Amino acid sequence: MATAEWHALQDTFYRKHRLYQMQWAGLDLSKFRIAASSFGGPIALQRDDRQLLEAGSAPLLDSSIHVYAASGHSIGTIEYEAGLHMAGFSWNSREELICVQEDGNVRVFSLSGRDPSSFSLGPEARERGIAECCFWDQGLVAMTQDFRFIYVNDIGEPKPRMLADAQLTQPPHCWTVVPPHLTLSRHVEVLVATGATILCVDAAGVQDQLLDQGPYARISVSPNGRLVALCSRQGRVQVVSTDFQRSFSECTSDETSSLLQVAWCGSDAAVLSFADKVQLVGPFGALLTFTQTLPAYLVQELDGVRIFTAEEHWFLSKVSEESKSVFQIGSTAPAALLYDAVDSMHAHSSRADEIVRSIRDEMPQAVDTCIAAAGAEPDVSVQQSLLRAASLGKSFLSVYNGDKLVDMCRSLRVVNNLASYSVGIPATLVQFHSLPLEAWISRMLNRNLHQLALRVCAFMDASADQVYVHWACTKIRASTLDDDALYRVLRERLETLPEGRSIASYVEIAEVANSCGYSRLATRLLLHEPRAANQVPLLISMNQEDAAMDAAVRSGDADLVYFVIFHLFKSQSLSDFFQTLSRTPSAARLFEKYCKEMGAPVLEDYYYQDDAFAKSARLIITENLSESDTSKLVANLKVALKMLNSDKSCALESRAVDMQIRLVQQQGEEYAGLTLNETLAKCLESGNYSRANKLKAEFKIPDKRFYYIKVHALVQRRDWVELARLANARKSPIGYRAFVDECIAALQFQEAAKYIPRCDAEDRASLFMRIGFYHEAAQAAMHTRDIEALRQIHSSATDPTLQHDIAQNIEQLSRS
Amino acid sequence: MQPLDGTVASGPKLLQLKDILRAELIAILDTIRGAKALVLDKDLSGALSAVVEFAVLKEHGVEKIFLLETGVGDAPVQGVVYLVQGQVSKLRAVASQVRALSGCEQAVQVVPRRTLLSERVLEEEGVLGDVRLGEFRLDAVPLAEDVVSLEQPGLFKALHVDGDFSGVHGVARGLMRLQGLWGFFPRLVGKGDYAQVLAQSLKRMRAEATSGAGAMSNMFDAAVILDRAADLSTPLLTQLTYEGLLSEVFGITNGAVATGENSRSRVNVRGDDAVYTAIRDAGFADVGAALSAMTQQLQTTYESRHSARTVQEIRRFVGRLSGLQAEHQSLKTHVTLAETVQKRTQTDDFAATLEIEQTLVGGDDLHTGQRAYIDRILALADPHAYVPGVSSERQAPPPAAAPNSLHKILRLLCLSALWRGSSLKQKQYDAWYDEIIAAFGHHHTITLANLARAGLLPSSTRNNDSASANGLGFLRRSLNLVVADDADDVAYAYAGYVPLLVRLVQILAQDPAVHSPASNRYAALLRPLDRTRPSREMQQPGGGIRGGWAGWEDVLSAIPGASFDETQVPPSALNRSEKALGDKPPATLVVFVGGCTSAEISALRRLSQLHGHRYVVATTEVLNGNALLDPLIQHK
């Protein structure tokens, strides 16, 4: 009966389903430290070195970590040196084992135990030593032996930091961590039971929750982060909200034996394990007790709790509504009727037909419920009968989308396969759906179940690239063949994937090949890699610099080119490095830019060996822009000039630099830093006309430029005498309009008027008009017989006699 | 000019990018718990204010914002988030501040990408271990409902002078963001070497993201990718739309007009101001009339309060009051701005500059008076002048005449070199070279070398390849770039000149306006027979990318850079897309690699109206000629 495993707790039912008879032989779990991974993951055991043990009393007394599947068969051993005392270890969601040592070092092992990565929790941890640890999926909190807390948010990129000082002087009764995704602040918090109260510690500060019913022996935070279960030493269990403001339930068990562990079953019931029993505390303080003969270890899952002892492995979870409506005794739900109909049908009873008829309109719900119930049932035969019932019901519906049924069958098939003894991943359907398929595939691959993984991929219509890559890597690691033979084996398999595809990336395989010493194989495999960007780092680690540079340039990503450049700069001699650069111009330009921005002196050397004279000269010029020491500046510019002279295409530039050198030598303090024109203008504005003339001669300043600057300067200086002298000395090379414009801009209309008659005849009228000289404007307009101008003057002039004259003139002109 | 209300309804909603960027920024801010200071790169302030309001930052713990230049100083802080671009100099500044603040939690967020280079700089400075290094992908900021900035200022210089193509990768990432939202562009067509590099990057990224699959866009029919280097002349010309002139006279930096006086008196010119949206694209001659019409409209609305009799009517009026007041304020601002602009456009100096531009674009040589004008501004040059669109901090209101800045002079010089081509006499060029050195200093030998390298000035070793020998004259004739009458509407933004890149878009859209009456015979000779010019009356102008480059090979070969036309549609989907041709995607993305001007955007908006099809602009920056040239200038 499906309900045989049900246990009622008020109006809900809990199911305690036996998953496995443990395959390990006679282990005494109490002698071990245990870490079991959620999602039906592996169990790690290490001898607890804090317990004294009788010599020769039990197997597995070495210091290594033994890894078992959930069904209890061994899937690996991680060698661990004796003497490195473990403070705590735990699995993350990628099935990596994170081991925190008492000396503050952390090591992360994959399931295979190969190539552990490691990091340190920082100097504080080293000095003080780590006492205990708490983990969440991607991070951990470690308590030092003087009761400070160090946290790491992301084990992939560890940056250990201290939480605020809770000023504990003696070990807390217990503590636990609230992972960042469950807190309000989105940062990790730690709940510490000390005295009769609980402290909430985060990076910013410590908050005392002001409780008085402690001391608490165990704290556990519910999976959704809303509730906290507090267990006191006296066996009292309280469930409160995470902010400790509201209490939801309380119960006292008469239990006095020591409490081992607390976990959550779903989000509304807490599970307590004692030496001889497991208790479930429901939402309203109701208790459900299961006696055990052996001490049990709890593993909190998304939708329940796994309980394993040395002999058996159970799964405790709430019975779903769907199961309830089908199987609850006396249920008259349509789904229950439908389920009965199947039995009747097999018994060739006409009652089947009656039942189906009685369901009628509710058939779609009945089918859906049966499908959902199948997903929630652990027993394969029950699943089958439920699916058969659904299938029967479906046949009575004219319109029903069968996808749901098909999906359920497919998912269940995978789930049941995973749960088999040989695989030992007892995940429920809910858990299966909460992770992407790739995660499950990689769990199978972690156990080297390539065949199964491949079949699952094909069955679920998913890309099997991941499987092939993992297979190839494993093959290479285990191989004893030579490069060529191995290449043939790999290509034979990888080339002929179903449907003529090829796998998306070869880089990972090539990396493994390289690390296993098959460098030739790695090179050949890398040729098949479609993404240039992926090839670069590996090519570099294989010392194939040229190929790496090519791949980087081909990728179109300047960042990769920089990556190669930096590597080469470090690893090669300067001359080799320069040669590489000269072979790849695009890289050379990036290097140039980087050096310019960093002000790296190596650029000079590069230009020098490259005979890049013009570039060297420009570099000198930019470097000396703020040089204030004249003699140094001149010396440096002379070097630049010499370089420019060696490049025939730089004639204009070398003339400019030559001029600059002479200018700097002439300027002295007074004009330092000014351009040639500014120097000239300043000379003129200060009335130093002879020096200006000298400058003109010395620097061969063209007449026109000299005139423009001089006129401007004289007007600024209001030196009208000199201006007149300039105008009269000879015919102005810039005409006289410039004189007028400058005077007008300086609002010197009288002066402007002097030069207007020397401008072009047709401009005069408008110029006079602009400075308000209407009489003269009218005369000029009359002279050029410009009626349009006269009309304008007529409208702007205010003098009535003038207006009269102009009107006459206009008449006269228009008549003629 | 009316905003494109009719067509905005369909097509991609660019402003939704804003919400995405805001969410990303908030996630970044939340990585540091509690109160924190934000240290901001000045160059990001504009884009950031387009994305998020200060109140939102405050909600997420930002107590104060400091500029990177000044740093946090002695202010007490618990945590710091740095938001900076990835240049070496900026990261070094960050590193020194990180060292000074050691002890508190610090996060360095590189914009738009955490590069190996940035890691290396921080590593060399010895602070990599002390900070949380991340990236803020500020790579597609919507400026208006049809313009998105890809936030790569100075890209033109980086590509064409430094050979640093890292920006292209950034642009590609920005466009990938667009493709992520609206599907992959079915077609990538474009002109210019770096445009092609970008297209290749896009294809590669697509392959990596989806292994060649991925849904095609039903919003965009194509992305037209144009390299600024294909048309250097247009941004050097004076823009004659309202927004263009604001940019020329005041300068628009970070989405605001710098009106002088002090840094606070900045007028926001984003697309959320109804008054501004109505006039930004107008030719300047029409702005006065538009403003006065709006004033009268406003007046009438205000007057309506007298006719309000019932309480409901009064309430309705009062409800609109704040909107009216905002409109009033905005009108006032723009009337003042327009006045100042008008003062500038009436100066002799402005007229002289414009005349020179038109002479050159028209294919003629400068006459004596114009040469004299150039000689004069060279002699009276002001090396310390304010340059609109470049200098962001300025104190004085704009002077009546444009100061004779290096930028102004170089724009005219480069225009001469581009349009005269080989007809520009070496002697004249050498003389100008000397004048610039004398006026602005010897370090501009580097500036001029940069300009030559970027193709803006003839290089010292003159090569007589066809493109430069002909100058742009051939293109002017064959693409009908100079339109005498204003019949060609697109030409209004530059008063009779059609921006070359806009013409390229028109070619792809098979717009008959590309063929001039004058070049008609010539065109008929060159084009294949079946491509004879359809008469304007016969062909209803429809929008979108319909044709390809075929038939225009002669024109394309006269424009520097490669041309390409590639489809991203997988062969299997081709038939399906052909079937679905009936419902054409409502928009085309026009990507400018290296920036475009406001006037070019206005011209494309006009094109959108004419074609009844949206041309959405994605540009690495919105610039004017000064901003194009400035990065190439060696500053002292």
Q: What would the DSSP string read from start to end of B19-47?
A: HHHHHHHHHHHTTS-SSEEEEE-HHHHHH
Rounded to whole angstroms, the Cα distance separating A50 from A88 reads: 12
Mean pLDDT computed over B312-326:
84
Which secondary structure element, helix H or strand E, spans residue A53, and what is its range?
none
Interchain contact A621–B (C-beta under 8 A)? yes
Query: Does residue A584 register a pLDDT over 70?
Result: yes
Question: Of the candidates A159, A558, A614, which has its C-beta nearest B132's C-beta?
Answer: A159
Confidence (pLDDT) at A331: 83
Interchain contact A184–B (C-beta under 8 A)? no
With beta carbons less than 8 A apart as the criterion, state whether B484 and B495 touch. Answer: no
The Cβ of residue B343 has, within 10 Å, a number of other Cβ atoms equal to 15
Query: Does residue B600 register a pLDDT over 70?
Result: yes
Question: Of the candidates B439, B446, B634, which has its C-beta nearest A675's C-beta?
Answer: B439
Best mutation target, A540, A705, A741, to test chain B (most B CBs within 10 A): A705
DSSP for B495-564 reads: TSB--HHHHHHHHHTT-GGGS-STTHHHHHHHS-GGGPPPPTTTSPP--S----STT-HHHHHHSSS-EE
Distance from CA of B516 to the nearest CA of A (A): 36
* Contact residues, chain B, for A652 at CB < 8 Å: 430, 433-434, 445, 448, 460
Q: Residue B588 falls within a domain, yes or no?
A: no
With beta carbons less than 8 A apart as the criterion, state whether B138 and B132 touch. Answer: no
This prediction has a pTM of 0.77
Q: Residue B591 falls within a domain, yes or no?
A: no
Q: For A341-350, what is each residue's pLDDT tens digit? A: 888 888 888 8
Q: For A645-674, what is each residue's pLDDT tens digit? A: 988 888 899 999 999 999 998 888 888 889
Confidence (pLDDT) at A257: 67
pLDDT-derived band at B265, boundaries 50, 70, 90: low
Query: Does residue B377 register a pLDDT over 60?
Result: yes
Query: Does residue B431 register a pLDDT over 70?
Result: yes
Lowest pLDDT segment from A10-14, A137-141, B527-531: B527-531
* Contact residues, chain A, for B634 at CB < 8 Å: 622
Confidence (pLDDT) at A639: 92
CB contact under 8 A, B115 and A562: yes
Q: For B159-170, what is each residue's pLDDT tens digit? A: 999 988 888 999
CB contact under 8 A, A161 and B105: yes
Residue of A nearest to B445 (CA): A653
- Cis bond before residue A223 (omega within 30° of 0): no
pLDDT-derived band at B578, boundaries 50, 70, 90: very low
Confidence (pLDDT) at A183: 83
CB within 8 Å of chain B, chain A residues 670-689: 675-678
Confidence (pLDDT) at B602: 93
Confidence (pLDDT) at A59: 55
Domain boundary among B105, B138, B171: B138
Size of interface A-B (CB pairs under 8 A): 146
Distance from CA of A689 to the nearest CA of B (A): 17
Interchain contact A502–B (C-beta under 8 A)? no
Q: For B551-568, what is each residue's pLDDT tens digit? A: 888 888 888 889 999 988
The Cβ of residue B33 has, within 10 Å, a number of other Cβ atoms equal to 19
Q: How far from A499 is each of A199, A503, A506, B10, CA to CA, in Å?
A: 60, 11, 19, 40
Question: Of the candidates A204, A559, A593, which has its C-beta nearest B34's C-beta?
Answer: A204
Confidence (pLDDT) at B446: 93
CB contact under 8 A, B33 and A186: yes
Mean pLDDT computed over A172-187:
86
Confidence (pLDDT) at B214: 66
Query: Tell me, what CATH number does B98's domain have?
Result: 3.40.50.2060
Q: What does the buried/exposed string (b/e) look like for A128-150 if buried means 16 or more CB atoms within 10 Å of the residue's CB?
A: bbbebbbbbebbbbbbbeebbbb
Q: Which residues contact B611 (CB under 8 A, 6 or more apart)?
A: B509, B511, B541, B542, B543, B544
Which secondary structure element, helix H or strand E, spans residue B263, and what is its range?
none
Mean pLDDT computed over A189-203:
88
The Cβ of residue A611 has, within 10 Å, a number of other Cβ atoms equal to 11
Query: Tell me, what CATH number does B404's domain have?
Result: 1.25.40.850
With beta carbons less than 8 A apart as the criterion, state whether B227 and B262 touch. Answer: no
Q: What percent of chain A has pLDDT over 90?
A: 22
pLDDT-derived band at B527, boundaries 50, 70, 90: very low
Query: Does residue A641 register a pLDDT over 70?
Result: yes
pLDDT-derived band at A681, boundaries 50, 70, 90: very high
pLDDT-derived band at B532, boundaries 50, 70, 90: very low
Question: Of the candidates B117, B162, B440, which has its C-beta nearest A589's C-beta?
Answer: B162
B441: left (phi over 0), alpha (psi -120 to 50) or beta: left
More confident residue, A784 or A234: A784
With beta carbons less than 8 A apart as the criterion, state whether A143 and A132 touch. Answer: yes
Confidence (pLDDT) at A362: 86
CB contact under 8 A, A656 and B445: yes
> Domain total for chain B?
2
**Longest CA pairwise span in chain A (Å):** 138
CB within 8 Å of chain B, chain A residues 13-52: none
More confident residue, A573 or A212: A573
Provide φ and ψ at B242, rounded to 5°. Answer: -60, -50
Best mutation target, A562, A563, A637, A675, to test chain B (most B CBs within 10 A): A675
Mean pLDDT computed over B503-526:
67
Q: For A86-124, what is each residue's pLDDT tens digit? A: 888 999 888 889 999 988 899 998 887 777 888 898 888
Question: Of the candidates A556, A597, A677, which has its C-beta nearest B204's C-beta?
Answer: A556
CB contact under 8 A, B208 and A563: no
Best mutation target, B434, B448, B593, B634, to test chain A (most A CBs within 10 A): B434
The Cβ of residue B345 has, within 10 Å, a number of other Cβ atoms equal to 17
* Contact residues, chain B, for A700 at CB < 8 Å: none
Which is nearest to A493 in space by CA: A536, A535, A520, A464? A464
Domain ranges, residue B421: 349-469
* Contact residues, chain B, for A585 at CB < 8 Å: 163
Sheet holding A140-144, edge to edge: A130-135, A140-144, A149-152, A161-162
| 3-class state of residue A167 by DSSP | coil
Q: For B140-192, what is each residue's pLDDT tens digit? A: 998 888 999 998 988 999 999 998 888 899 999 999 999 988 888 999 999 99
Distance from CA of B380 to the nearest CA of A (A): 6
Q: For B66-93, what is each residue's pLDDT tens digit? A: 888 888 877 778 889 999 988 888 898 9
With beta carbons less than 8 A apart as the criterion, state whether A421 and A69 touch. Answer: no
Mean pLDDT computed over B198-212:
81
Query: Does residue B538 register a pLDDT over 70?
Result: no
Question: Of the candidates B87, B88, B164, which has its C-beta nearest A558's C-beta?
Answer: B164
The Cβ of residue A451 has, within 10 Å, a number of other Cβ atoms equal to 11
Confidence (pLDDT) at B465: 47
Query: Does residue A806 register a pLDDT over 60?
Result: yes
Q: For B442-468, what is each residue's pLDDT tens digit? A: 999 999 999 999 989 887 655 544 444
Confidence (pLDDT) at B488: 58
Residue of B nearest to A553 (CA): B165
Question: Of the candidates B158, B449, B460, which has its C-beta nearest A618's C-beta?
Answer: B449
Query: Does residue B519 register a pLDDT over 70?
Result: no
CB contact under 8 A, B30 and A186: yes
What are the boundaries of each domain within chain A? 16-251, 320-400, 543-604, 611-673
Confidence (pLDDT) at B629: 94
CB contact under 8 A, B445 and A735: no
**Residue A711 identity (one-letter amino acid):** V
Query: Does residue B521 register a pLDDT over 80?
Result: no
Interchain contact A705–B (C-beta under 8 A)? yes
* Contact residues, chain B, for A566 at CB < 8 Å: 116, 120
CATH number of A16-251: 2.130.10.10
Q: What percent of chain B has pLDDT over 70?
A: 85
Domain boundary among B424, B447, B469: B469
Question: Of the candidates B88, B439, B446, which has its C-beta nearest A598's C-beta?
Answer: B88
Interchain contact A531–B (C-beta under 8 A)? yes
CB contact under 8 A, B443 and A625: yes
Q: What percent of chain A has pLDDT over 70?
A: 97
Q: For A41-69, what is each residue's pLDDT tens digit? A: 899 988 887 776 665 555 556 778 889 99
Q: For A537-574, what is each residue's pLDDT tens digit? A: 888 888 888 888 888 888 888 888 988 998 888 888 88
Q: For A322-359, what is each residue's pLDDT tens digit? A: 888 888 888 888 888 888 888 888 888 888 888 888 88
Distance from CA of B249 to the nearest CA of A (A): 20
Interchain contact A735–B (C-beta under 8 A)? yes
With beta carbons less than 8 A apart as the criterion, state whether A564 and A540 touch. Answer: yes
Rounded to whole angstroms, the Cα distance separating B266 from B268 reads: 6
Q: What percent of chain B has pLDDT over 90?
A: 32
CB contact under 8 A, B433 and A660: no
Domain boundary among B138, B160, B190: B138
Distance from CA of B325 to the nearest CA of A (A): 39
Distance from CA of B132 to the nearest CA of A (A): 8
pLDDT-derived band at B426, boundaries 50, 70, 90: confident
Q: For B266-301, what is each residue's pLDDT tens digit? A: 677 776 788 888 899 988 888 888 999 999 988 888
pLDDT-derived band at A498, boundaries 50, 70, 90: low
Mean pLDDT computed over A707-728:
92
